[in-house]
Amino acid sequence: MSADAEGLALRPVAVNLLGLVEQPEFGSTPYRVSADGSSYVPVGDGGIVLGVRLGESVFARDADHAAPGACLVHPDEGARHALTVYSCIGNQVVIRTGQAAGARGIVVGKRGEAGRVIVSLAQEDLARLRPADQVAVRAYGQGWRPAGFPAEVTVLNTAPAAFAALPVAVTDGGRVLAGVRMIAASKLAGNGIGRPAAGWDLDLQLSAPGEQSGDGSGGTGSLLLGDLLAVSDLDARWNMGYRRGWLTVGLVVHGASPLPGHGPGITPILSGPAGVLQAEPDPTGHVGLTEAAAQALIEGEPELE
């Protein structure tokens, strides 16, 4: 049992949803145009992506929006949005059909527009997966709030056990302190700005270490899939948008993109006034959602308070 922002005791519920493993889609041309004006063929933008793991750099691959695992979708537009909106980080999934039937995984993030749920599972299970395989998602977390959280801080897109595995704590002074890899300025926010935070990720226009940087800083330091990252002056309680003195923290769920206005993406999990929600950046020692933590969540008991 937890309390909502108004202090009413409301018990969150779990729902079983069905997702289908995605096959990437192209129009009649294979090309996209990068921020520098070169054409490229996007690889890794949705579907099953092998070998990409939590803990590897978002700049490690020559790919477009590559995520650690497989993306789930649904052929019905409304059902696909519901799958995306209700699924939360840490939710358990079970493969129901195909060669990987019975294999288990967890939700590690979501992507926007039409909607995708990103699930991680063991690489040997991922390799047996095939587009259109059915996956049951035990969706739980929207409407849940950790006990003792200040009312000013909105929690979204996370289930309790995954939240407990992340470096987020309430201080003695009643503030929420999140350990993050870095704090990005809101002006680097790209695709996802102006869109609902429960159903859309936020891309950040960051450049790889040592690269010619879009933000003029000579590139981002290390940023890993599964890291927490904070964005200053960003309010993500409903739609995501600029609000001076506000902070949003999200989990890094997919890698970089050559497209202008795109980049590594976060699924927002916390948003609140900067005086109550604070981020502590640790460029070298930060630990977010790791492969080991994900494995523990896969093996854990189904969640229900």
* Interface residue list for another protein (CB under 8 A): 33-37, 185-195, 203, 205, 213-216, 233, 235, 237-246, 259-262
In terms of Cα–Cα distance, which of 287, 259, 121, 158 is closest to 203?
259
Q: What is the dihedral of CA 124, 49, 86, 102, to 10 degrees?
A: -20
Minimum gap (Å) between residue 286 Cβ and another protein: 24
- The distance of closest approach from Cβ of residue 284 to another protein in the complex, given in angstroms and rounded to an integer, is 25
Structural tokens at position 265: 């993406």
Contacts of 269 (CB under 8 A, 6+ apart): 89, 155, 156, 157, 158, 163, 166, 228, 249, 250, 251
By C-beta, is 175 or 243 nearer to another protein? 243
Q: Rank residues 98 and 260 by Cβ distance to another protein and give the closer one.
A: 260
Minimum CB distance to another protein smaller for 54 or for 188: 188
Record the tokens describing residue 81, joined without a space.
Answer: 């949005």
Pairing of strands 15-21, 265-273: unpaired
Q: Which is nearer to another protein, 150 or 214 (CB)?
A: 214
Q: Which is nearer to another protein, 205 or 220 (by Cβ)?
A: 205
Task: Quote the least distance from Cβ 126 to another protein, whole Å.
Answer: 28
- For residue 199, the minimal CB distance to another protein (Å) is 13
Structure tokens, 161: 């056990």
* Min dist. Cβ of residue 193 to another protein (A): 5
CB contact at 8 A, 42 and 33 = no
